[in-house]
Amino acid sequence: MYLRDRAMLRRAGLWLGVSLFLLSPLAAQEGFQSTGDIDVDFLFNYYQQDGENSPVTGGIGTEDMDVISPVIAVTWKVDDQWTLRSDLGVDGITSASVDAMDAEVSSASRQDNRTFLTVTASRQLAKQTLNLMAGLSNEYDYQSAMVGLGWSKDFNQRNTTVSAQVRHFSDTLDLYDIDGVDRGEDDRTTTDLTLGLTQVLGPRTVFSGELYWSNQSGYLGTPFHEVILQDGSRVTERLPEDRTRTALGLWLNHAFTERFVGRVHYRFYDDDWGIQAHTIELEPQFKVGDRSWIFPILRFHSQDGADYFGLPFAFNGSEDFITADRDLSEFTSEKYGIGYRTTFAPGRQGWTRRMRSFETRVSIYNREDGLESISASFAWGWRF
């Protein structure tokens, strides 16, 4: 474990070092002066779910889980060409189902923390923007490092923007089995590519499209997910060591009036495990006052199940791949909620003078297999 953590740090240090190398000519410029614009955003999200189909206990146990997620994002406008951004966050997770894999403690909830850091350097070149990003994520049984490149360019008097982004993730997992025993470790890699297009269709209408592709290889299952066989015995889920996913996302925003903006989003998803999914989101925006908006949140999702999914007692154990994870099953789901967003005028006095924006969202999620969740998020923005 110690040697692996040191290797992770070396890889992260190398990637972050590349970022600093690319920025070093900036710092060396004679007469360099920063614009001094620094935006600080604090985000806080609370998520709670419950259900009775946990894959940790073979698809028949509690799915009760609470997650608290604070994130701080700092964006520094270094000068007219360079922008630096860092995102630092922690997920505090309490899950009763994960604790059930420990034979010595069967009722108390398990607490876990995930920390992550992402750093992005952006350089503006005429009508083009180049991005270099690196990141780290760490959990008690999971470590991940990421590096990525992004590019965008404006055309047609900035009415058309095309973009591309590629990222590579290198993950290491501790293999805690269904009895909570550490069986060593394994690796996983993910490479994804995103191509985007944004087009202004008129004074009130903007269209965006995004094509996503990813390939994963390595250990893609969860070692403490159980499958209950026909004879009642329990075994660890088995999934392929390769997965290719594609998705197409479409967005359309139209301002019907100065006080009403319609927003609609559609996403199609497909992978080589047999899942196809359709998602549609509606988020109409209603202006209240001079700088505030209120908006309902509506999301509908349906998907086919993976070829390897089965309910408890469905498999005899001779199959190559088996899982009881309901995330890979056929289902429909809905999400309903409401949000509020406001911006603050410059030139104010007092403790709010540096506040830039505030947004909050509350939503309820229901899946047809009985999984229910509620989430609440808050975001504050300051400028220094």
Least confident of 52-56, 179-183, 222-226: 179-183
pLDDT for 31 equals 47
Q: Where are the domains of the chain?
A: 2-26+118-383
Bridge partner list, 176: 182
- Paired residues of 173 in beta bridges: 142, 186
The per-residue pLDDT for 93 is 92
Confidence of residue 1 (pLDDT cuts 50, 70, 90): very low
pLDDT at 121: 97
As a whole number of angstroms, the distance between CA 299 and CA 283 comes to 9
Q: Is the pLDDT of residue 23 over 60?
A: no
* Residue 188 CB neighbours (<10 A): 18
Two tokens, residue 126: 């005429």
Mean pLDDT over all residues of the chain? Answer: 89
Residue 252's closest CA among 302, 200, 216? 200
pLDDT in tens, 279-331: 999 999 999 999 999 999 999 999 999 999 999 999 999 999 999 999 999 99
Report the pLDDT value the prediction gives residue 329, as an integer from 0 to 100: 97
Q: How far apart are CA 278 and CA 117, in angstroms?
A: 31
**How far is it, in rounded angstroms, from Cα 307 to Cα 320?**
11
CA dist list (Å): 250 to 158, 208, 280, 379: 20, 6, 10, 25
pTM: 0.87
The arithmetic mean of pLDDT across residues 7-15, rounded, is 49
CA 62 to CA 49: how far, in whole Å? 10
- What are the tens digits of pLDDT across the range 93-148? 998 766 555 544 333 346 789 999 999 999 999 899 999 999 999 998 899 999 99
Angstrom distances, CA of residue 105 to CA of 65, 100, 112: 17, 7, 15
Please report the DSSP string for 292-340 in residue order: EEEEEEEEEEEEPPPTTB--TT---S-SS-BB--GGGS-EEEEEEEEEE
Contacts 24+ apart (CB under 8 A), 103-107: 103/179, 103/180, 104/180
Can you give the pLDDT at residue 111?
77
Could you confirm whether domain 2-26+118-383 is CATH 2.40.160?
yes
Tell me, what's the pLDDT at 193? Answer: 98
Tokens 């594609």 appear where? 246
The whole-number pLDDT of residue 91 equals: 95
Q: How many of the other CB atoms lie within 10 Å of CB of 203?
A: 6
Confidence at residue 33, expressed as pLDDT on a 0 to 100 scale? 53
Largest CA distance in the chain: 76
Run of H or E including 265: strand 260-271
pLDDT reported for residue 28: 45
b vs e for 23-58, b when ≥16 Cβ sit within 10 Å of the residue's Cβ? Answer: beebeeeeeeeeeeeebbbebebbbebebebbbbbb
State the Cα–Cα distance between residues 73 and 10, nearest whole angstrom.
Answer: 24
